[in-house]
Chain A
């Protein structure tokens, strides 16, 4: 293979983006529309699945989606997809698509006209509000909600009804990323963008199996390494995966000890004086918070941090506990490997990207570990310039767009926190409701929402685009809770799932390209797609379901959108929340035309590096950086200690259990398992063991294994040295399989700051099933 072959695919993006820089607003990419061969029409859409947000072209023929290709005009993926993206359109055509509403009558779900179902939803909402107050009803949505879905949900529940009982499954997926950004920078979402990949010399992956979970970005990183020999990929993980195979170096650490490792790296940076001292002086302040902060295992657990400002000397002193030799004992990572990592971060000649996702997010100290990795980038000044980037990847296609930016979390509004009077006033004004409607206190975060249903404090929940009866940790408690008398459960989905099984009303949803919408991906890129095919039967978009229910509740004036133009009207209304140089969004018309636009989008120009005055219109010129999110105009270095997880292997439950995804399946598999090629490639969940453990228990590949935790037990076939290999004393199980529910075993402990549960660590017992 010659050099040209290797270069050719990757070269486009840099030049195109450079071109956009020079001539803002002009798209240099090929128009991605209706070129047609064999009678197909190709239309652009972001991928339905992961947070990478690849641009796809969907082949449409006779009102059906029949083919997919990568959009060469998309700056994200430049024409390449992963196997889920290539087969995404098959997800529309499972034979058991929900085409009508279902209402539970005499204990059984029976088909009903959708209008009857919407009437019932509205009347149950009104009834419960009248009898038990507005905080007795809730909506639980998703990072797969489109932006208009989430916006209407927030407007209806927070604006019209007046309850902050609005959450999204992104609480289970990136809440720690948000609190990490907020505590360190005062503003959410990454400062960099995917173009950091083409500019970096070193990639450090913190507990992140990118080869399977963000495959297109992973390929982009490998291509960078091919182009630029000497580029290093270091896999720092608790388990050996496909990512480790591709990495230049694989370093395994014991669960939870990433906290200590990050501190040891900081210790080494200071000891060797590998610091960027002018950057530190001008742009960084030092802080510490509460310790021994708990795990949220008990109902109504509450936590408020008490930040205090410290100085560099105090920070340095606190790190004395994290000498590499000491951390070696805790983490299992040799001190020389820790020094090696510090050397990479500390080398002034190397531009470093840190990538992470669920490993750091689903963590009982999730906020802390984000703070600690930012510390490393701040100590070395390696941030917000091309190729120097602490990069929090997001899991879902619109966790950023819909949950973080629209603010579909109990504590958020489309702009700011509910506790902030100015943010409430802004919302009241744009929504056209009295400011007294908007409650000033957060109510229930996701785990507590399901606990409240179990307790009976919450009577009504409307679940859209998510499948909590597969994904909630410590599942049995929450399933039993939802099944109790006097709980009314509405589920909007596209296929029958364990969640629709326990619903009182099921609303059939129009999915993805069956309606118009927008998603926002990991790099602050908003992507629009138009409706391409008709939804089946009476299926209706989640946005329109919300509007119909709002009208039936008497809030028609607030939702006076027209069927043909409602997405445009909603977008233009929503975008007012983000007006200003720090968050300006593109107009509807611009979004329609281009394959995705990064915010802040000011004067027709995307912002690739925030806090960098050369790129960011909100940053004050005159210096290399301006961290304008915090009151002191600085980025905050936090001292955060190592604290152990709430449950660790012991005599009775001697193994660590880790859970996660596989490349073939999206989340709970409700869509991807209906795609024949993906189902056949990964037909069922399994338990992955280390070969030595397998030998010890006399377990062979395919043997049935019983896993038991303090909360439940399941049987799984063993898989040894196939997809991955956990270290001895650890097992891994994917969560996509609704007939092998690993969340029966997991623990509902969460990060006290972000309230995000930890799905990566609990203790189990392993037995060969006979």
Chain B
């Protein structure tokens, strides 16, 4: 175990050194006539962890936001029906506001913060990755329901909504976290499907209680134990 720690520390030091030296290298090799642009702080992200706290400040404001009378709620089957497989990018279920504009100017006007959209009689889902603005490079809008040739594709199983290990225990996270590490985007607020909407959006550090689960790891054994 100790060995792993020392490797980890060495790696961390190396990365730190790399950032510093990397900057030096970068600065040195620019065309002599080209002054360096303002250097940008580059924290090392861990992609599956990066988004945990994003929007957490919004969580508290979502605490008491519930759909009012006559405001329909979303359910998981509709949520999955938009995707070719769990984790796939959802298709756009409504007409496009503007077919030509970039997401930053159109999609994000609603999907950045969500809220009630009277035009669609629905609460607007919130994107977990608002930093990506070429929205329709991943999210497409079906023009019709026609088929060119049928498919025999069978998607990955959708995860069952988990229960805690014992009554009262926090359930584990049953899905991958890539592009979906921002918990509150999908689990908080009135647009979240009822089945997976959190009762406590104000608690911002989701993963202090909810661990990624259902990994079929080998059973834990002690090395060298008696």
By a beta-carbon cutoff of 8 Å, the part of chain A in contact with chain B is 1, 4-9, 11-12, 14-15, 18-19, 21-23, 28, 35-40, 59, 61, 64, 66-70, 72, 78-83, 86-87, 89-90, 92-96, 199, 201, 211-212, 215-216, 218-219, 222-223, 226-228, 230, 240, 242, 245-246, 276, 348-351, 381-382, 385-388, 495, 612, 614, 624, 663-664, 669, 673-683, 721-725
| A22 with B100, Cβ < 8 A, contacts A9-B45, A79-B47 known | no
- In the complex, are the beta carbons of A677 and B84 less than 8 A apart? yes
Question: Which one of B42, B142, B149 contacts A681 once the chains associate, using CB atoms below 8 Å?
Answer: B142
Q: Name the CB-closest residue of B to A201.
A: B37
- In the complex, are the beta carbons of A69 and B134 less than 8 A apart? no
Q: Name the CB-closest residue of B to A64.
A: B154
Q: How far is the CB of B154 from chain A (nearest CB, A)?
A: 6
- In the complex, are the beta carbons of B154 and A680 less than 8 A apart? no
A18 CA / B15 CA spacing, docked (Å): 9
Question: Which one of A70, A90, A664 contacts B178 once the chains associate, using CB atoms below 8 Å?
Answer: A70
- In the complex, are the beta carbons of A680 and B144 less than 8 A apart? yes
Q: How far is the CB of A681 from chain B (nearest CB, A)?
A: 4
- In the complex, are the beta carbons of A68 and B136 less than 8 A apart? no
Which residues of A are found within 8 Å of B104, using beta-carbon distances? 246
A40 CA / B156 CA spacing, docked (Å): 8
A469 CA / B86 CA spacing, docked (Å): 37
Contacts A/B (CB < 8 Å), 6 sampled? A8-B45, A38-B174, A242-B102, A245-B102, A663-B136, A683-B144
A608 CA / B132 CA spacing, docked (Å): 26
Stretch from B62-70, B116-124, B211-219 forming part of the interface with A = B211-219
Q: Name the CB-closest residue of A to B180.
A: A69
| A219 with B143, Cβ < 8 A, contacts A68-B88, A211-B137, A677-B91 known | no
A368 CA / B41 CA spacing, docked (Å): 41
Question: Which one of A38, A59, A676 contacts B151 once the chains associate, using CB atoms below 8 Å?
Answer: A676
Q: Mark B35-49, 1 if CB is under 8 A from A, else 0.
A: 101101111110110
- In the complex, are the beta carbons of A66 and B156 less than 8 A apart? yes
Which residues of A are found within 8 Å of B85, using beta-carbon distances? 59, 66-68
Question: Which one of B17, B151, B174 contacts A675 once the chains associate, using CB atoms below 8 Å?
Answer: B151
- In the complex, are the beta carbons of A72 and B89 less than 8 A apart? no
Q: Name the CB-closest residue of B to A72.
A: B47
- In the complex, are the beta carbons of A37 and B174 less than 8 A apart? yes
A81 CA / B179 CA spacing, docked (Å): 10
- In the complex, are the beta carbons of A348 and B149 less than 8 A apart? no
Question: Which one of B153, B156, B179 contacts A79 once the chains associate, using CB atoms below 8 Å?
Answer: B179
A215 CA / B149 CA spacing, docked (Å): 26
| A94 with B149, Cβ < 8 A, contacts A59-B156, A66-B154, A723-B99 known | yes
| B209 at interface by CB-CB < 8 Å | no
Q: How far is the CB of A56 from chain B (nearest CB, A)?
A: 11
A199 CA / B142 CA spacing, docked (Å): 37
| A663 with B137, Cβ < 8 A, contacts A68-B88, A227-B40, A679-B146 known | yes
- In the complex, are the beta carbons of A382 and B151 less than 8 A apart? no
Q: Which 6 A-B pairs have the closest CB atoms?
A: A18-B22, A215-B137, A681-B140, A680-B142, A66-B156, A93-B153
A184 CA / B114 CA spacing, docked (Å): 52
| B157 at interface by CB-CB < 8 Å | yes
A171 CA / B87 CA spacing, docked (Å): 37
A39 CA / B47 CA spacing, docked (Å): 22
- In the complex, are the beta carbons of B214 and A674 less than 8 A apart? no
Which residues of A are found within 8 Å of B220, using beta-carbon distances? none
| B131 at interface by CB-CB < 8 Å | yes
A385 CA / B47 CA spacing, docked (Å): 29
Question: Which one of A72, A612, A664 contacts B140 once the chains associate, using CB atoms below 8 Å?
Answer: A664
| B175 at interface by CB-CB < 8 Å | yes
Q: How far is the CB of A729 from chain B (nearest CB, A)?
A: 20
A614 CA / B37 CA spacing, docked (Å): 21
A677 CA / B89 CA spacing, docked (Å): 10
Question: Which one of B26, B91, B129, B138 contacts A199 once the chains associate, using CB atoms below 8 Å?
Answer: B26
Q: Name the CB-closest residue of B to A87.
A: B84
| B50 at interface by CB-CB < 8 Å | yes
- In the complex, are the beta carbons of B151 and A95 less than 8 A apart? yes
Q: Name the CB-closest residue of B to A211.
A: B134
Q: How far is the CB of B29 from chain A (nearest CB, A)?
A: 6
Q: How far is the CB of A686 from chain B (nearest CB, A)?
A: 10
A72 CA / B174 CA spacing, docked (Å): 20
- In the complex, are the beta carbons of B212 and A37 less than 8 A apart? yes
| B18 at interface by CB-CB < 8 Å | yes
- In the complex, are the beta carbons of A219 and B137 less than 8 A apart? yes
**Which of A1, A228, A382, A677 counts the most B-chain CB atoms under 10 A from its CB?**
A677
Question: Which one of A67, A82, A386 contacts B155 once the chains associate, using CB atoms below 8 Å?
Answer: A67
A226 CA / B40 CA spacing, docked (Å): 12
Q: Mark B7-34, 1 if CB is under 8 A from A, else 0.
A: 0000100110111011001100111011
Question: Which one of A59, A624, A680 contacts B143 once the chains associate, using CB atoms below 8 Å?
Answer: A680
A89 CA / B85 CA spacing, docked (Å): 11
A215 CA / B26 CA spacing, docked (Å): 27
| B221 at interface by CB-CB < 8 Å | no
Which residues of B are found within 8 Å of A230, using beta-carbon distances? 37
- In the complex, are the beta carbons of A349 and B140 less than 8 A apart? no
- In the complex, are the beta carbons of B146 and A680 less than 8 A apart? yes
Q: Name the CB-closest residue of A to B106.
A: A245
Question: Which one of B38, B87, B140 contacts A69 once the chains associate, using CB atoms below 8 Å?
Answer: B87
| A82 with B137, Cβ < 8 A, contacts A386-B26, A680-B142, A721-B100 known | yes
A7 CA / B41 CA spacing, docked (Å): 8
- In the complex, are the beta carbons of A86 and B88 less than 8 A apart? yes
- In the complex, are the beta carbons of B132 and A80 less than 8 A apart? yes
Which residues of B are found within 8 Å of A64, using beta-carbon distances? 154
- In the complex, are the beta carbons of A14 and B42 less than 8 A apart? yes
| B222 at interface by CB-CB < 8 Å | no
A376 CA / B127 CA spacing, docked (Å): 41
| A222 with B149, Cβ < 8 A, contacts A1-B112, A61-B156, A72-B178 known | no
Q: Name the CB-closest residue of B to A223.
A: B131
A679 CA / B86 CA spacing, docked (Å): 20
Question: Which one of B19, B37, B148 contacts A679 once the chains associate, using CB atoms below 8 Å?
Answer: B148
- In the complex, are the beta carbons of A94 and B99 less than 8 A apart? no
Known: A7-B41, A226-B131, A246-B133. 9 other contacts (CB 8 A): A22-B17, A39-B216, A69-B178, A246-B102, A388-B31, A681-B141, A682-B140, A683-B148, A723-B99
| A37 with B137, Cβ < 8 A, contacts A226-B131, A228-B37 known | no
Q: How far is the CB of A138 from chain B (nearest CB, A)?
A: 30
- In the complex, are the beta carbons of A674 and B149 less than 8 A apart? yes
- In the complex, are the beta carbons of B157 and A38 less than 8 A apart? yes
- In the complex, are the beta carbons of B179 and A80 less than 8 A apart? yes
Q: Name the CB-closest residue of B to A723.
A: B99
- In the complex, are the beta carbons of B25 and A18 less than 8 A apart? yes
Q: Mark B137-174, 1 if CB is under 8 A from A, else 0.
A: 11111111111111111111101000000000000001
Which residues of B are found within 8 Å of A678, using beta-carbon distances? 140
Which residues of A are found within 8 Å of B137, using beta-carbon distances? 82-83, 211-212, 215-216, 218-219, 663
A523 CA / B208 CA spacing, docked (Å): 41
Question: Which one of B26, B101, B159 contacts A245 once the chains associate, using CB atoms below 8 Å?
Answer: B101
| B195 at interface by CB-CB < 8 Å | no
- In the complex, are the beta carbons of B131 and A5 less than 8 A apart? yes
Which residues of A are found within 8 Å of B102, using beta-carbon distances? 211, 242, 245-246
Q: Name the CB-closest residue of B to A62.
A: B154
| A15 with B33, Cβ < 8 A, contacts A38-B214, A94-B149 known | no
Q: Name the CB-closest residue of A to B19.
A: A15
- In the complex, are the beta carbons of A724 and B100 less than 8 A apart? yes
A240 CA / B216 CA spacing, docked (Å): 51
Which residues of B are found within 8 Å of A8, using beta-carbon distances? 43, 45, 50-51, 131
| B73 at interface by CB-CB < 8 Å | no
- In the complex, are the beta carbons of A37 and B214 less than 8 A apart? yes
Which residues of B are found within 8 Å of A382, using beta-carbon distances? 31
Which residues of B are found within 8 Å of A92, using beta-carbon distances? 153
A304 CA / B159 CA spacing, docked (Å): 63
Question: Which one of A12, A69, A351 contacts B176 once the chains associate, using CB atoms below 8 Å?
Answer: A69
Question: Which one of B44, B88, B134 contacts A15 once the chains associate, using CB atoms below 8 Å?
Answer: B44
